[in-house]
Amino acid sequence: MENPFSLPYLLFFLLLLVATLFLIKVIIQNLALKALKENQKSFLDLAEQSFQKLRSSSNEDLESKKTAIEKQLAHLNDELDKLKTNTTELKTNLQLSKEQLTSLTDTTNQLNSVLSDNQKRGQWGERQAEDLLQHFDFQEGVNYNKQTSEGGDRPDFTFYLPKGKRLNMDVKFPIRAFQSYLDAESKTEQESHLKQFTTDIKTHLKAIAKRKYINPAEDTLDYCIMFISNEGIFQIVNQQEELLDLAKDLSIVICGPTSLFAILSLIRQSVSSFHIEERAKIIQKDLLKFQDEWEKYKDKMATVQTKMDQAGKALEEAQGTRTRALERPLQNIINHEIDSSQE
């Protein structure tokens, strides 16, 4: 019997062991590969599921963001349209402002030209007075007259009042000293220019007093008006007691646009009241005449009634007495005819 630990047996055993180990390795590798494939499939399935979920979530998120972006874009488009409209309006307004500024500049230049010329200042003041007259529907030649010639002692305006009375008015626009007063940079300069302004107004008042604007013998009122065509200048004048006292002594009423408005309103009301009174007198006169004619009418109708009563009595007598007087002979004639026929 051979020794089991001999070299051939050992070699065979080693080969068998190597083959067994190799077989085990192959089996393990196969098992590992199978497990790897299964794990890989599970991983891929899990990854696919996760990807699907992620893609679904991403799609929803993208759709939501898309909707939000579309809303923002729509809002942005609206805002851009509004901005475009506002820009167009702004451009139009800027153009209008430019045109208005140009017009204002021209007007300012014209105003400066007017204010620097005595004659033009007077015309401008007269135009203001005429605007107020037109407001009350005053008609030139009917309610007032305006001086058309320059200079002289004639008033700028003469108002015709009830009962043939007249009210004269001169228009003044003393701007030079007043403008210097406004432009003064110190209190001393301001007081100096105000003093000069007051002196100018006194000169105007005394010049008006020398003219024949107040002459009751010629049916004028016992006062006249000096119209200062600028309300600001009038307010300064109205604050100077010495000017008001002088105007009172000279029987001159100083007024601005607002106070002239009130005076013209009173004139208009007095003229209307006078016309109403005149019409009332005419109506009263006609009523008295109607009353006289009515009394005459009643007397005449009474006479006619008396005569009609007399005629009625005469008619009644004719119908009664005279009819019976005629019927008796007629009846006799009839009776006579009857008697003749019987025979």
Per-residue DSSP letters for 256-272? -HHHHHHHHHHHHHHHH
Cα–Cα distances in Å, from 125 out to 14, 100, 229?
A: 142, 25, 5
The tokens 């009263």 sit on which residue?
284
15 domain residue, yes or no: no
Residues 98 and 234 placed together within one structural domain of the fold: no
Helices (H), the chain: 7-115, 118-135, 176-183, 187-210, 231-238, 241-249, 257-317, 323-342
246 domain residue, yes or no: yes
6 domain residue, yes or no: no
Of 250, 275, 300, the position where a domain reaches its end is: 275
Residues 93 and 234 placed together within one structural domain of the fold: no
Of 245, 275, 305, the position where a domain reaches its end is: 275
Range of lowest pLDDT (51-55, 142-146, 263-267, 331-335): 51-55
Residues 101 and 199 placed together within one structural domain of the fold: no
Task: Please tell me the distance from the alpha carbon of residue 128 to that of residue 151, in angstroms, as a whole number.
Answer: 19
Residues 92 and 188 placed together within one structural domain of the fold: no
Residues 92 and 147 placed together within one structural domain of the fold: no
Domain count, the chain: 2
Q: Provide the CA 20 distance to its chain's centre, in angstroms.
A: 117
326 domain residue, yes or no: no
Residues 155 and 235 placed together within one structural domain of the fold: yes
State which of 124-128, 258-262, 302-306 shows the largest mean pLDDT: 258-262
Residues 254 and 169 placed together within one structural domain of the fold: yes
The pLDDT tens digits of the residues spanning 91-147 come to 787 788 777 766 655 654 454 555 555 666 777 788 888 998 898 888 898 889 988
Enter the pTM of the model: 0.51
**Mean pLDDT over residues 278-299, rounded?**
80
The pLDDT tens digits of the residues spanning 211-251 come to 888 988 888 999 999 999 888 889 989 999 999 999 999 99
Of 225, 249, 275, the position where a domain reaches its end is: 275
Residues 83 and 213 placed together within one structural domain of the fold: no
Residues 186 and 263 placed together within one structural domain of the fold: yes
The pair of three-digit structure tokens given for residue 247, joined into one six-digit string: 């105007």
Residues 96 and 166 placed together within one structural domain of the fold: no
List the domain range (segments joined by +) for residue 135: 117-275
Residues 240 and 263 placed together within one structural domain of the fold: yes
3-class SS string, 275-310? HHHHHHHHHHHHHHHHHHHHHHHHHHHHHHHHHHHH
Residues 90 and 167 placed together within one structural domain of the fold: no
The pLDDT tens digits of the residues spanning 25-59 come to 777 777 777 766 776 676 667 767 766 776 676 66
157 domain residue, yes or no: yes
262 domain residue, yes or no: yes
